[in-house]
């Protein structure tokens, strides 16, 4: 039985993260912001959206958290697009 299509997700807003992280490569690790970066990355990946353009100017820990979250969300997005079961193995 085919799965119902998800409605298109609105563009995820990232102004608070951008304000805190853009052009701040030297910022010390903040675990709360790192968790928000991961979650934001997942949301972007699930929506099939690219990483934000300000990301290269963010601290390394923020780039890694956003990138890891994005990869996870994108893998789920692609699997759902193919119609694979949620419990199946990852490619």
Domain chopping of the chain, boundaries? 30-82
pLDDT at 90: 55
30 — pLDDT class (breaks 50, 70, 90): very high
Tokens coding 86: 């949620």
Q: Which residues contact 81 (CB under 8 A, 6 or more apart)?
A: none
Q: pTM for the whole thing?
A: 0.78
34 — pLDDT class (breaks 50, 70, 90): very high
Helix, strand, or coil (residue 81):
helix
Residue 29 has pLDDT above 70, yes or no: yes
d(C-alpha 70, C-alpha 51), whole Å: 7
Q: What is the mean pLDDT of the chain?
A: 86
pLDDT at 88: 56
d(C-alpha 73, C-alpha 70), whole Å: 5
Tokens coding 70: 């994005």
């Amino acid at each position: 039985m085919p799965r119902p299509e998800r409605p298109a997700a609105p563009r995820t807003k990232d102004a608070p993260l951008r304000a805190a992280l853009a052009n701040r490569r030297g910022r010390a690790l903040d675990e709360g912001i790192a968790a928000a970066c991961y979650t934001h990355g997942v949301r972007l990946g699930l929506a099939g959206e690219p990483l934000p353009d300000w990301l290269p100017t963010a601290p390394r820990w923020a780039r890694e958290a956003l990138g890891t979250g994005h990869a996870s969300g994108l893998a789920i997005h692609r699997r759902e697009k193919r119609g694979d079961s949620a419990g199946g193995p990852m490619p």
